[in-house]
Amino acid sequence: MIDAIVAGRLHGKPSQKTAKTGKPFATAKLRVPAGDEAAFINVVAFDAKACAGLLALDDGDAVALSGPLTVKAWLGKDGTPKPSIDMVAHALLTAYHVTRKRKAQAEAQQAQQRQREPLDAYTERDGLGDW
């Protein structure tokens, strides 16, 4: 097992399933560029936040996933070995998350500037300038 961060695009819409214990989980297939071809990663998420994040996405959406990765091999119809890659996603990051984080950082910077601004504004507006 390898702990990995993998980025790619969803191949098909993620689906929600229920385990025998009654606990929900999400599954998805991720298409990752691999040279001239593409590798497909079978993804399963048990964490509530990871499940909700996956299920909010659609076919073709870009996503980066983090979690343990298992690599196996199988033989194709032509007899050539093919990779079988499985991942248990613990966390994910999408373009939506990046945009939301950048917006929050910009708002925080603006708030800091507003906190500094009143002191400068009062000295300029009162007409007294420096004492």
**What is the tens place of the pLDDT at every residue in 107-130?**
888 887 777 665 555 555 555 555
Q: Using the predicted structure, report yes or no on whether residue 131 has a pLDDT greater than 60.
A: no
Question: Phi, psi (5° rounding) for residue 115?
Answer: -70, -35
CB within 8 Å of 68: residues ≥ 6 apart:
1, 2, 3, 4, 87, 88
Q: Which class would CATH give 2-97?
A: mainly beta
The reported pLDDT for the residue numbered 130 is 55
The reported pLDDT for the residue numbered 112 is 79
User: For residues 90 and 45, what is the distance between their CA atoms, to the nearest angstrom?
Assistant: 7
The reported pLDDT for the residue numbered 32 is 95
**What is the tens place of the pLDDT at every residue in 1-57?**
899 999 999 999 999 999 999 999 999 999 999 888 899 999 999 999 999 999 999
**What is the tens place of the pLDDT at every residue in 67-117?**
999 999 989 899 998 889 999 999 998 877 767 767 778 888 888 777 766
Strand 37-45 relative to strand 81-88: parallel, antiparallel, unpaired? parallel
The reported pLDDT for the residue numbered 122 is 55
